[in-house]
Structure 1
Amino acid sequence: MPNATAVKFGYPNTLVAETAEWLILLRPQQPTLGSLVLVHRSEATAFSELPAAAFADLKVAITGIETLLRARVDYARINYLMLMMVDPHVHFHVIPRYEIPRVHHGQTFADAGWPGQPALASHVALSEEEAHAFAAELAALWRVS
């Protein structure tokens, strides 16, 4: 059963990939094109509560994320933000960063915070249908070696 944080970010409709310990979800509010949420499967609300297996599997998840986003978004930098103030379960917001805006299905996705901190309040809000379609597109590209 997914935790409430995963559900809030649209699980299962926004599921891009999963590993033994982690869910990789499309972030419905896209501050930059390809923004994701990496959610631990457990009910843990502190990073230190995760089992050792979660840390080993984090390598698998991050390798997959960076391979996917490099191919799809061609980011210049990538930010992993652990912001567990509203959504308490262990998760990271994964924000690909770039200077030149990206276009996806006619929508422009600028990185309003470049080159500073991500501007999370400046985002493209995807509809449920758009988020589901984009998650499926990314899922089809997911590769982990």
Structure 2
Amino acid sequence: MTIECPYCEKLEDYNFGDPIFQTEHWIVYLAPNQSNLATCVVALNRDKKTLSGLKDSEWQDFIQLLERMEKAVTTAFDATLFNWGCLMNTFYLEDTLDPHLHWHFIPRYNHPVKFAGHTFEDPHFGYMRPRPPKNISEDVRNKIAEKIREFL
């Protein structure tokens, strides 16, 4: 899927994942690591490093996006709950890109989910632990994105 915005070319360098959809102020990407099924990155579509100074319209748009995403992923995959995090730490390591405001959307599951020939499990449900990468094909990634879009 092609996403167009004045800032999209720069966002490609960040490897947030595969674009799923966009709103007026935000772009949603299917994250590269799908160890938690339907994990996404939600990036602001303008240059901004921190949450402070977001415009009211950007906050309102984010709230509507949050509600749409949670409803879509609950309907599509029966997610139990959602973690949202604005974690900017790695941008401040040596030899990284300039910080860019984004959110991590991490669905959590208290049960295994079978989808597209894979079983997705959340063995650390209830805890925040590092998640090892889940190797899936581009075809499966596309099916996950399509399923999310189906319920938006």
Pairwise TM-score range, normalised by the shorter structure? 0.7 to 0.9
Give the share of equivalent positions with the same residue, in percent: 24
Q: For 1:1-145, what aligned pairs fall within 5 Å after superposition?
A: 1-2=7-8, 3-4=10-11, 7-10=14-17, 14-87=18-91, 88-117=99-128, 119-142=129-152
Task: Flag the 1:28–1:70 CA change in 2: closer, same or farther, 3 A.
Answer: same
Q: Any conservation in 1 of the 2:39–2:105 contact (CA below 8 Å)?
A: yes
Report the Cα offset of residue 110 of structure 1: 1.0
Question: What TM-score, normalized by structure 1, do the two folds share?
Answer: 0.83
- What SS class does the counterpart of residue 8 from structure 1 fall into? coil
Aligned residue pairs total 138
Q: Take 2:147 and 2:13, find their aligned partners in 1: how far apart are those partners? A: 19
What are the superposed Cα offsets for residues 87-119 of structure 1, whole Å, 9 maximum, x if unpaired? 5211111111111111111112111321212x3
Which runs of no fewer than 5 residues in structure 2 stay unpaired? Answer: 1-6, 92-98
Greater C-alpha Rg = 2
Q: Take 1:130 and 1:64, find their aligned partners in 2: how far apart are those partners? A: 22
What are the superposed Cα offsets for residues 40-82 of structure 1, whole Å, 9 maximum, x if unpaired? 1111111113222111111111111011011012122110011
Q: Any conservation in 2 of the 1:15–1:139 contact (CA below 8 Å)?
A: no
Larger RCO (alpha carbons 8 Å, 6+ apart): 1
Greater mean deviation of Cα atoms: 85-94 or 64-73: 85-94
Cα root mean square deviation, aligned: 2.0
Which runs of no fewer than 5 residues in structure 1 stay unpaired? Answer: none
